[in-house]
Structure formats: structure tokens, C-alpha cells
Amino acid sequence: MKTIEQRGKSVEDAVERACAQLGVTRDRVEVEVLEEQKGGLFGLLGQPSVLVRVTVKEGAHPGSDVPTASAVAPVAEHVEDAQLTEAEPATPPPPTVEAARALVQSILDAMEVGATATVLSATEAAEPGGRQVLIDLVGDESGVLIGKYGQTLYALQYLVNIILNKGNPHPLKVWLDVQGYRKRREESLKTVARNAAARAKRQGRKVKLEPLPIHERRIIHLTLQDDKAVFTYSEGEEPNRYVIVAPVNERSAERPERRGGGASGRGKGRGRSSSGHRSRERGGASGRPSSGRRFAPRDTSEWDEAWAQLENEMKAKGEEEQG
């Protein structure tokens, strides 16, 4: 009896490869699974692999089931004709709201967290990329899903979007909340912003806030955009980028120094970060939106800003995998 070992993505794939090498059909061999490695979480962190040992049964001769060239020719012509008339593969259907909720629930179950995924709201906008759904995580143990400053919640949200929208040209934006955490966090950030502004005006110098993610820095900027006595801007690099709240008199005092030096002083004017690039989080040179710019409602602006960051991370991850 002839025996070989073969590896494949699945048991069937490995057995099929082995049978092709032995020249026998599937019913002429005995199969023993030696090793089975599953891929990472939901198949995202590695490819599955299976190692099998395939042995030809007694009485079967390797190569006896291999068809002759004369028998293969008509079949090959038939397959070729079928390929000519085969339609282009259909575009995968857009992920549904229920599919998103079920995915979130399956992850919660895998984490053994006593929480239930509930759809709070969903929108079906006409423009591309406008489909969104907000899912609330409710339960006695849901608090563990928030993490420090919401880091666990945002990481889970990122994972859900990667899995749900992988390879689909019509993504569904999934936003996660834990029993109103986002609203409470927003109110907390607004309080921080107002206290920082009061301190900057009282002490006459800038106030540096702790590092925040991009959508939370946006809340700081929007909260103080109508305060004529202060202006805001961001400095640092992700993930340690932070907001500066400074009194307007400091900006006036620093302007000659920042703009001096001719060509060498370019990139250091007001409204620019330490890297010389104008902060995209600010509306204009004064740190407030220009009069012609309209801000969308809170939910839309926050969602779009965070989704843009998510798309950039997804694109970077795809380039790393291709490399």
C-alpha cells in the first residue's frame, strides 16, 4: 500500500491533492488527519492548515483511475465551452443590519461576556458609504467592554467593521455603544473643554489636555469654537496627539516670532502643527470654522470623522497583507 502526507486549507482540499498525486479517486483511499490548525479569530489572523495521511486501500493500484488523454479531451472541450458562457461573478450583497447585530452577538458570546447586542438605529443613505447602524451592548457585564477612555469599545468596533465589510464594495458602518457611554463621554469631554478654557483665560497661558482619539479631539474643538477668548489646535503624533487650549492674546504675541525668518519661517504660522502641516481638526487659522463652513449634526460629524480614520487603517492593513 502506498501512503503519502499532504497539507491543504481543509481536509477535503488536502485529500483531493493527495488523490491527484496518487492517481486514485476518493473512495480508493483511507484518510487520517494528523494536524489541524485553525485560522485566527474569524479567519483574519492567519490561514487554516490541515495535514493528512492518505493511504491507498488494498486492491487499488495507484494511477489506475487516471483517465487517458483520449477520454480527457472531450471533457476539456466541454468545460472550455462552459467557461465561455459562464457569467461574471456577482457582486456580493451588501451586509445587512441583522448580519451586523448577529456578528456582534457572536463575538460577545465568544468572549463570554453577559451582554446582548441590540440595534438602536439604522440609516440607508443614498450616497455611497452612507449606510450606518448603531448597536447598543446591554447587560450586567457590558461595562468591561468599554475599557480606559473607551479603548476596548473602539477596538471591538474596528474589528466588527473589518469582519463585516471585508471584500464588500458596499460597506455598512457599524457603531457600538454601551448603555449610553458615548453620550456620557461626550458630556464629560465638554466639561473638560470648558474647564480648560476657563483656566487658560484665568492664567493667561495655554493648557495642554491629555492625548485623545481624533473624534474626541473634535468634540473639544467644537465645544470651544464659539468662545472668542480662546482658540484650540492639536499637536503630537497618533496615538499621543493632544489638544492645546490657549488664550487669544498668546496667539497675537507669538505671531511675529512664528512668521518671521522669511522662507525659513514657512510652515510655522498659526493654524499649523509642529510638523508644519495645518491641523485638519481646526476650521481655520483662528482655530474656528470659517463663516462659510457648515458643521453637520453631532452624530454625523463624529461618525464620518471616525469612519475616515477606520478606512485609512483598513487600507494600511490591506497594503501590509499584500506586501
DSSP output for 107-132: HHHHHT---EEEEEEEEE-SSTT-EE
Average pLDDT, the chain: 75
Residue span of the structural domain in which 216 resides: 199-292
Task: Say if residue 14 is in the same domain as residue 77.
Answer: yes
In this structure, is residue 210 part of a structural domain?
yes
In this structure, is residue 300 part of a structural domain?
no
Cα separation, 173 vs 191, whole angstroms: 29
In this structure, is residue 308 part of a structural domain?
no
Instruction: State how many domains the chain has.
Output: 3
CATH code at position 143: 3.30.300.20
* CA-based nearest residue to 237, from 285, 274, 270, 189: 274
Spatial contact of 179 and 142, defined as CB atoms under 8 Å apart: yes
CATH code at position 259: 3.30.1370.50
- Residue listed under C-alpha cell 448603531: 134
Task: Say if residue 219 is in the same domain as residue 269.
Answer: yes
Task: Say if residue 161 is in the same domain as residue 211.
Answer: no
From the CB of residue 10, how many other CB atoms can be counted at a distance below 10 Å? 13
Task: Say if residue 243 is in the same domain as residue 273.
Answer: yes
Residue-wise pLDDT for 150-197, tens only, equals 889 989 999 999 999 988 888 999 999 999 999 999 999 999 999 999
Task: Say if residue 18 is in the same domain as residue 73.
Answer: yes
| Domain final residue, candidates 22, 53, 85 | 85
Task: Say if residue 214 is in the same domain as residue 277.
Answer: yes
**CA distances to 134, 146, 147, 150 from 141, in Å:** 19, 10, 12, 15
Q: What per-residue confidence (pLDDT) applies to 65?
A: 55
Task: Say if residue 79 is in the same domain as residue 105.
Answer: no
Cα separation, 99 vs 133, whole angstroms: 11
45-54, 131-140, 209-218, 303-312: lowest mean pLDDT where? 303-312
Residue 77 grid cell: 472541450
33-59 burial, b for 16+ CB within 10 Å, e for fewer? eeeeeeeeebeeeeeebbbbbbbbeee
Query: For the chain, what percent of residues have pLDDT higher than 70?
Result: 62
The DSSP secondary-structure symbol of 240 reads S
In this structure, is residue 284 part of a structural domain?
yes
Residue-wise pLDDT for 278-291, tens only, equals 444 544 334 444 33
The DSSP secondary-structure symbol of 269 reads S
In this structure, is residue 306 part of a structural domain?
no
In this structure, is residue 297 part of a structural domain?
no
Q: Is the pLDDT of residue 321 over 70?
A: no
| Domain final residue, candidates 85, 113, 135 | 85
Task: Say if residue 160 is in the same domain as residue 105.
Answer: yes
Q: Is the pLDDT of residue 54 over 80?
A: yes
User: pTM of this prediction?
Assistant: 0.51
96-110, 160-174, 231-245, 261-275: lowest mean pLDDT where? 261-275
Q: What is the largest CA-CA distance in the chain?
A: 95
Task: Say if residue 79 is in the same domain as residue 129.
Answer: no
Task: Say if residue 211 is in the same domain as residue 264.
Answer: yes
Residue 38 pLDDT level (bands cut at 50, 70, 90): low
Q: What is the DSSP annotation of 208-229? A: EPPP--HHHHHHHHHHTTT-TT
In this structure, is residue 189 part of a structural domain?
no
The end-to-end CA distance of the chain, in Å, is 43
Q: Is the pLDDT of residue 223 over 90?
A: yes
In this structure, is residue 190 part of a structural domain?
no
Task: Say if residue 46 is in the same domain as residue 75.
Answer: yes
Residue 124 pLDDT level (bands cut at 50, 70, 90): confident
